[in-house]
């Protein structure tokens, strides 16, 4: 029994990147499952290219379990990185979880809907499914997959600090203990520098002993 037995519609399967790109143009889908080992262009490169082109959900399913491969996959654009062998029940749960997050990202939050007119000129927001951070003055910043996940978590916390451990669980849901917490600090440092180079002063503050907060 494949994923179809768990309630999913499997649109197509391809054994190389070129065929995948052609089929995706003909038949767009919501979530893509990628293997790192593809002939020609590998899955890591496909994830990076796909993330730049589309807000589609990306699950990397591969036999490469090294930490550097996990980090490469997640920072390159994958939403979830899983190592083989994987039980279909677990994979189906991961896909449903990712689909829920994607639906929430596309749906305006109730508070946003009620206050959008009043706060349009004074608030920060995530747009285009969370892939673009927009400042109160209208300036914008395109985000990577991990930057998007990080900022969505902080902005959803509505002024409360989010712990590094909670963030690690978002970045590596199948094995949060395998995510080095210091990588979150590196991510924040790079995001601040990226925002500054775009003329934005990112209101992300470090709260000693707690984590990070979006203070705006």
Sign of CA dihedral 188, 169, 102, 155: negative
CA dihedral (117, 118, 122, 126) in degrees, to 10, reads -40
| Helix, strand, coil share (%) of the chain residues, nearest 5 | 50, 15, 40
| Dist. CA 205–CA 211, nearest whole Å | 9
ω into residue 115 within 30 of 0, thus cis? no
**For residue 81, what pLDDT is reported?**
92
CA dihedral (33, 143, 101, 210) in degrees, to 10, reads 120
Fold of 108-214: Arc Repressor Mutant, subunit A (1.10.10)
| Boundaries of every domain in the chain | 3-105, 108-214
Closest by alpha carbon to 170, among 191, 204, 203, 145? Answer: 145
Fold of 3-105: Rossmann fold (3.40.50)
| Dist. CA 83–CA 65, nearest whole Å | 6
Each of the 216 residues of the chain gets a pLDDT tens digit; together they read: 578 788 888 889 998 988 998 888 888 888 999 998 888 888 899 998 888 777 889 999 999 989 889 888 988 889 999 999 888 888 988 888 888 877 766 655 444 444 444 444 458 988 888 888 999 888 889 988 888 989 998 998 888 898 888 888 887 655 545 567 788 889 999 999 999 988 899 999 998 888 999 987
Contact 114, 181 (CB under 8 A): no
| Dist. CA 51–CA 35, nearest whole Å | 15
Closest by alpha carbon to 195, among 169, 171, 214? Answer: 214
Q: Give the predicted TM-score (pTM) of the model.
A: 0.51
């Amino acid at each position: 029994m494949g994923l179809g037995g768990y309630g999913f519609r499997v649109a197509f399967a391809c054994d190389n990147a070129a065929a995948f790109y052609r089929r995706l143009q003909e038949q767009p889908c919501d979530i893509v499952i990628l293997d790192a080992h593809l002939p020609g262009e590998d899955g890591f490169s496909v994830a990076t290219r796909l993330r730049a082109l589309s807000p589609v959900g990306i699950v990397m399913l591969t036999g490469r379990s090294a930490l550097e491969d996990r980090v490469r996959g997640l920072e390159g654009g994958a939403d979830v990185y899983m190592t083989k062998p994987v039980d279909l029940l677990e994979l189906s749960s991961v896909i449903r979880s990712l689909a829920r997050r994607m639906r929430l990202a596309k749906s305006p939050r109730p508070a946003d809907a009620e206050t959008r007119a009043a706060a349009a000129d004074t608030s920060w927001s995530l747009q285009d499914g969370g892939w673009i951070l927009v400042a109160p003055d209208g300036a914008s910043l395109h985000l990577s997959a991990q930057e998007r996940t990080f900022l969505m978590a902080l902005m959803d916390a509505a002024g409360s600090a989010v712990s590094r451990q909670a963030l690690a669980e978002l970045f590596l849901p199948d094995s949060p203990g395998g995510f080095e917490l210091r990588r979150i600090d590196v991510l924040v440092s790079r995001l601040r520098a990226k925002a500054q180079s775009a003329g934005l002063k990112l209101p992300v503050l470090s709260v000693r002993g707690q984590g990070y907060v979006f203070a705006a």
